[in-house]
Amino acid sequence: MAYLSSLNKYKDFGLLIIRVGLGAMFIYHGYPKLMGGKEAWIGLGTSTKYIGITFLPMMWGLLAALVETVGGLLVILGLTFRPVCLLLVINLIVAALSHFGQGGNLGDASHAIEDAVVFAGLFTIGPGRYSVDKK
């Protein structure tokens, strides 16, 4: 479709749309977890047992909530973009394994898997021109 090839010049704008959309949704889902306090963090942090980590669940839960919330903001800004994408991929792998560990199926874990794939791709290509980290 040659008539759509002119859209190639808008790749950086497309990356911005993806970053703003995903970042906003991660803030939306992460903020309540972050504000949930110790009980919420412990509940979230126990998911690490599916990767063999059974100590300090409150710390892991708080870190997961921080990565989701603050990471969402950093993705929008394009600030420390690649490290944040890597942390989000790790967070999402744990989330997917948690779904499977609780007896869920691929459908239950699909959202986490899909987001992990997107963040892995974003890790590879970077934030684009419209970012705070622009080189």
pLDDT at 8 over 80: yes
pLDDT in tens, 65-107: 999 999 999 999 999 999 999 999 999 999 999 999 999 999 9
> For residue 39, how many other CB atoms are within 10 A of its CB?
10
Of the listed ranges 2-11, 32-41, 72-81, the least confidently predicted one is 2-11
DSSP 8-state code for residue 52: T
* 100-119 mean pLDDT: 96
pLDDT at 135 over 90: no
Q: What is the pTM of this model?
A: 0.92
Q: For residue 12, what are the contacts with CB-CB under 8 A and spacing of at least 6?
A: 128, 129, 130
d(CA 9, CA 104): 42
